[in-house]
Homo-oligomer: A and B are copies of this chain.
């Protein structure tokens, strides 16, 4: 279906590691309490600036900026400079896409595909 549907390559687990695909990237971005909290906060407002998040979480501004960058690079959050501030907002479509991809993967694994070859 979409690009998020069939990830995590079937072969090519080369030397060091497997390729960090889009799904893994999204999951990694989600796999930190602070970033989950940021996402939940962002989802409750139309947009906000970095400072708002800093006031919300008890983290240094640079740390929050880093977390926002990770969410940004994972495509879960959008940003547009707004004067000296930055407008951060969740990308609701991306969240839905990730939700679908993760749900598809987990439900397929839980549903016991008849043989392993089944792509989700």
Contacts and interface: CB of A to CB of B under 8 A. Distances in A.
B33 A31 contact: no
Q: Within the oligomer, what is the number of copies of this chain?
A: 2
Interface residues of A, number: 56
Given A43-B112, A90-B110, A95-B110, A13 B37 contact: yes
Nearest to A92: B110
A34 B17 contact: yes
Nearest to A109: B43
Contacts of A107: 95-96, 99
Interface of A: 8-10, 13-15, 17-21, 23-24, 27-28, 30-34, 36-37, 39-45, 57-59, 90, 92-93, 95-96, 98-99, 102-103, 105-118, 120
